Structure 1
Amino acid sequence: MARNNAWSNLRLYRACLTLSDDDFAARRVSFFPSLQLTLNHILLVDRYYFDALTAGGAGLTIFDNELPYPRAADLWDAQARSDEQLLAFCASLTGADLQREARIDRGPSVGVQRETVGCVLPHVFVHQIHHRGQAHAMLSGTPAAPPQLDEFFLDADAPLRAAELRSLDSRRPTR
């Protein structure tokens, strides 16, 4: 799932990087009303849960700046680094690690929520899928063609995505 997640982000950002800064920031119909806000939200939530998964201690302070990356190119660089961290984290997990407790800071009114790593990870992936779908729909109203994001990610399809997966290693989408 982490590899599929990174691959989907690569495809989405490949389209977003063709937009002008104005098109990227333009108001659109969605929960977060721009590609810029939606994709920054995805990154911040990734950081929030990764912090909880790794006992980083930052908690809700991750959300202190709601728009850390106004430009798509800067946001892509940060998202690619986040995806690399998540890939490495997931690759290092054992079955026992999935049962390890993750403490999620939900703020003073709720406190600390305790979940297992094995429950938090699917939530992270579903969150990204949900908001990438919104970004995909918003791209329909731009000069950039929305990329295919729901292809099968199976071994038999590996030759079809080999170049893209190699570009994950270089962290730069090919155009």
Structure 2
Amino acid sequence: MPDDLMLQHVRRFGRYNQWANRRLYDACGMLPAAEFSAPRPSFFGSIMATLNHILVGDSIWLGRFTGNPPPGVTRLDQILHAEFAPLRAAREAKDAEIIAFCDGMTDEKLNDTFSYANMRGERFTDPLFPPLMHFFNHQTHHRGQVHGLLSHAGVSPPELDMIYFMRVAA
């Protein structure tokens, strides 16, 4: 894929991510507070915990990409915000950071490597593009889990497929 197409792809994913998160949070906002945090059969145990995991993962990976690890994030299942409103505000802020990062991407950076430590302290040096695609894929995976949990909570989950974003974002 030519570099200019890769840059467009990364920037599109940054905006898609924000669009999908807004739609998902709009649906989650229809839940009563007790339903938002109610235990559910899922990997993270609730809608609230799954949304927190997405935010934690985004914070960790964006910190790795930028060389600025998030302070205070120590576990992948960490609850950063137990209440919906502050979690949504943090999500909006993180999505703005992601878009700014993607918009600031250059061909050189996209084709460069970066070094980081994982949660166990193991050090890695990787080319940026594949982990950046993992970053977006991870978000999509867990948004899909929340999408399913919403169905069981009695809220119609929104369409989140990228093709819908592309139709409205053109």
- Correspondence 1:59-138 to 2 at 5 A: 61-63=72-74, 66-108=78-120, 111-138=122-149
CA RMSD of superposed structures (Å)? 1.9
Identity of aligned residues (%): 34
Give the direction of change, closer, same or farther, for the CA distance of 1:98–1:38 in structure 2 (3 Å limit): same
In the alignment, the residues of structure 1 paired with residue 119 and residue 46 of structure 2 have an alpha-carbon distance, to the nearest angstrom, of: 27
In the alignment, the residues of structure 2 paired with residue 62 and residue 105 of structure 1 have an alpha-carbon distance, to the nearest angstrom, of: 13
Amino acid at match of 2:156: A
2:61 to 49, 55, 59: 49
* Contact 1:44 1:63 (C-alpha < 8 Å) held by counterparts: no
Deviates further, 62-71 or 74-83:
62-71
Q: Deviations 1:57-77 (Å, cap 9, x if unpaired)?
A: 448x52358111111221111
Residues 1:38 and 2:50 are matched in the alignment: yes
TM-score between the two structures when normalised by the length of structure 2:
0.84
Aligned residues: 156
In the alignment, the residues of structure 1 paired with residue 14 and residue 162 of structure 2 have an alpha-carbon distance, to the nearest angstrom, of: 15
Match of 1:170 in 2: none
1:147 to 138, 158, 168: 158
Name stretches of at least 5 consecutive residues in structure 2 with no aligned partner.
Answer: 1-12
* Contact 2:74 2:119 (C-alpha < 8 Å) held by counterparts: no
Amino acid at match of 2:56: L
Deviates further, 99-108 or 33-42:
99-108
Match of 1:8 in 2: 20
Name stretches of at least 5 consecutive residues in structure 1 with no aligned partner.
Answer: 163-175
Amino acid at match of 1:128: Q
Deviation (angstroms), 1:8: 0.4
Question: SS of 2:107's equivalent?
Answer: coil
Match of 2:6 in 1: none
Q: Deviations 1:9-44 (Å, cap 9, x if unpaired)?
A: 000000011111110001112111100110000000
Amino acid at match of 2:153: T
Deviation (angstroms), 1:120: 1.8
